[in-house]
Structures are given as structure tokens and as C-alpha cells.
Amino acid sequence: MVAKGGGVIALSLAPKWTEDRAILAEVCAIHHLLCIEQIHGAHRLGVNMEIEVSFGAIRKALLKGSLKKTSKGETDKQHVALFTKFLATKYFEANISVLRQDKWMDIEAQKTKNFSVLVNSVPLVSIETIAGSVSISRHALNRIVERRIAKDLIQDADDLTSVPDEKWTRAWKFLELVLPASTQVKIPTKELHRISRRYGQGTTVLWHQSSQCVFILKWEPHGLEMVTMTNDNEYNKITAGHKAPRQYGQQLVYDRA
């Protein structure tokens, strides 16, 4: 991934992951290079990035057409989908291809650096918020594209295949801007019950007043994750208790769920 750079990553994967360990190890190595060492640059996303991998399961998990339509890729390996989430979101525009072993070439490296890495947790990329570090689900990023970034281009919210890849990069940049500036919302009891029935326990909400975005977050085994985003409006009961009263005739009406 780095021109004229080379080296070896000695990676040890925790024994709790028992299936497809070689595949997961390769994904973790990519995560280490991109997110920890930042060999491609500190703030670069997936634009014009080419990543060659050894396993077709990695590419299947990142097929853009399927990501746009189902948020799931085409792999039936859920652990591979989870481990590749950082590539399916922050690095969405990266081109992933599978390179056969007989096509590998020895390239003389001008820079050589070796790493020894112990992996005990799922490789993630997160955005810092008032609620803590938040990773972004594939579904949530699709909802940002649909409802904020490319809403004028979309005919069917369940099929985003006609939307250019660059809109996912813009969606990530949008989140990097608004999530740190969002405030945590105390969810009214009735709405909390409704949200918990839909998304499960451990749900929290962030609200970005300027953009009128409401972000639904949930605690997963791997940490706090954004599961979706909704647009705020006067009928949104999640944020009702945080809004100024509205004038109706001679009366002020306070929104309360």
C-alpha cells in the first residue's frame, strides 16, 4: 500500500476468534497500517486507494454494490463483515482486489519497517463524541448518504446503487464534523421504550442542533456504535424536551413526549 515501502507484520490474534483466523489476521494487519501507523497519511480516506488482499472473503464483504443496497456486502461470514467494517465506512472508496499468490512480486523497498501486533479486540475506526468513542455501522453511513448527502439523487431509499462512491466519503467527513459537536439527549420514557424495542437495550441519542440530525447509538459487544440517523423536526419525539416552545395562536406549546 506504500510505494517502495516494505516490511513484515507479525500478528497474534486472540484465541477467542476460532474461524477464518488467517482472514481476520490479514484484515487486522491492514487496520494497523491504515489506522495506527497511518502509512498513507494522517487524514486520508479511501479516495484513490488500492488495497490488494489474499482472500476473496474480504473482497466479498466490501463489494460496493451490495454495501449500497443491503449494507451487508456479500460475505456470509459475519465475523469477516464485522472486522472489515472500518474499510466499509471510513475507507469506502478504496478499491479492494484479490491478488493470487502466484502474482506476488518482490519489490525492493527503500523504507523497511517491521511490526509485532497483538490483537485482542475488533479492529475499528471511531469518532470521539460527548458519549464516548463511536464507530459507525454500514447501515448508519447509508442513512447519512440517503437523508443528508445525496437525498436529491435517490429514488429508492432501499437501493443506493446509483449514488456515486464519493458520497460515502462525504458522509464520513460530515460525521467527523458534526458528531464531536453533538449533544447527548435525555430520551423521554415512552420514546426510550420504543427505541429499545427496535434497537435493543443500551441505546443513547446524540443531537446536532445546527444540522438537525439525530443519531441513534447502541452499546454493542465491541463498543458504542451508531446504528442509524434520523432528521429532526417538530414531530420528532426523541428531542421534544430540548426544543423551545412553538407559538399556536395566543398560546405557547411545549413539545413533550
Domains of the chain by range and CATH?
5-119 (no CATH), 126-242 (3.10.450)
Nearest to 201 by CA among 214, 187, 181, 212: 187
pTM of this prediction?
0.85
Residue 127: partners with Cβ closer than 8 Å, 6 or more residues away: 133, 134, 135, 136, 175, 176, 179, 180
Sheet holding 213-220, edge to edge: 126-129, 132-136, 223-231, 213-220, 203-208, 183-185
- pLDDT tens for the chain, 257 residues long, are 445 667 788 899 999 999 999 999 999 999 999 999 888 888 889 999 999 999 999 999 999 999 998 888 788 889 999 999 999 999 999 999 998 766 666 666 566 777 788 899 999 999 999 999 999 999 999 999 999 999 888 877 778 999 999 999 999 999 999 999 999 988 888 888 888 888 888 889 999 988 989 999 999 999 999 999 988 765 566 766 555 444 445 554 444 44
Give the three cell numbers for residue 129.
463524541
Q: 16-52 burial, b if ≥16 CB within 10 A, otherwise e?
A: ebeebeebbbbbbbbbbbbeeeeebeeeebbeebebe
pLDDT digits (tens, 9 = 90+) for 229-239: 988 765 566 76
Q: Compute CA distances 150 → 39, 166, 196, whole Å.
A: 31, 10, 29
- Answer whether 216's CB lies under 8 Å from 229's CB: yes
